[in-house]
Amino acid sequence: MVQLTKLTDTFTLNNGTKIPIVGFGTWQTPDGDVAKESVKAAIAAGYRHIDTAFAYGNETSVGASIRESGVKRDELWVTSKLTGEDHGYKNTQKAIDTSLSNLGLDYLDLYLIHWPNPIAFRDEWIEANAGSWRAMEEAQAAGKLRAIGVSNFRPKHLEELLKTATVTPQVNQIFLNPSDLQPEVVAYNNDHNILSEAYSPLGTGKIFSVPELKTIAEKYHKTVAQVVLRWSLQHGFLPLPKSVHAERIQENTQLFDFELNAADMTAIDQLHGVAGVATNPDTITW
């Protein structure tokens, strides 16, 4: 079990790379001043793991915040993702360079295939993923990417990828919170030593109105967000909370002075569906 003592404690990925156990998410964070200030606030609050994606449209602002933070590049973990329109070998090569340029970085700590079956490649998703993965493996070998992985992949998508892959994904970033534990995906990830990263760990805000979570939070004198993030860490997930409010960004770092007991962990596990479930990656319209 990883020590849960501070924000910068790490999980060790299957290639030996160490990744900070909590990341700062930027999905739905508008480009420009909002993205810049929220990322700056996160780094000031102690985050050393920043998650973005080409599809979020805010890579440029995220990169500017990183450069202006005053924190050394090698002390930060930065993730971006391959958008659906850019699947395939050559497209992915270009997309990696585009994200690096947008962010103003020489390398990414983690790069993910964002969705396994985007609409642009619905009839050839297996071949397109294989081509993208080959480009990512090469970029990793060249030092452009320290770690590579996937997002929103179910076991069937991973099985197809592994038929041609020479590198097992280090990470699978999925919708993961008390409302959807995705047990089959998490079990597959665990069996293959793939880290489960939790995007929308707070259920895009819907989790805050769940009565059972309010009761547990009161018991520990914590917020619902703190309880749910702690729950995620105790499961061995890596949560990526997102906020644009400095006080909440700071609040979401305060996870290491309490521990949820087994009964409360079980109670939270049983909240399936209270804040939505994962989108089916084979029926997305983007």
Active centre residues (catalytic): 56
Q: What is the 3-state secondary structure (H, E, C) of the chain?
A: CCCCCCCCCEEECCCCCEEECCCEECCCCCCCHHHHHHHHHHHHCCCCEEECCHHHCCHHHHHHHHHHCCCCHHHCEEEEEECHHHCCHHHHHHHHHHHHHHHCCCCEEEEEECCCCCHHHCCCHHHHHHHHHHHHHHHHHCCCEEEEEEECCCHHHHHHHHHHCCCCCCEEEEECECCECCHHHHHHHHHCCCEEEEECCCHHHHHHHCHHHHHHHHHHCCCHHHHHHHHHHHCCCEECCCCCCHHHHHHCCCCCCCCCCHHHHHHHHCCCCECECCCCCCCCCC
| Structure tokens belonging to residue 148 | 């590579």
Q: How many CB atoms neighbour CB 230 within 10 A?
A: 24
Closest CA to 71 of 45, 96, 97, 53: 45
| Structure tokens belonging to residue 20 | 């900070």
The Cα–Cα gap between 215 and 232 comes to: 18
| Structure tokens belonging to residue 7 | 């924000």
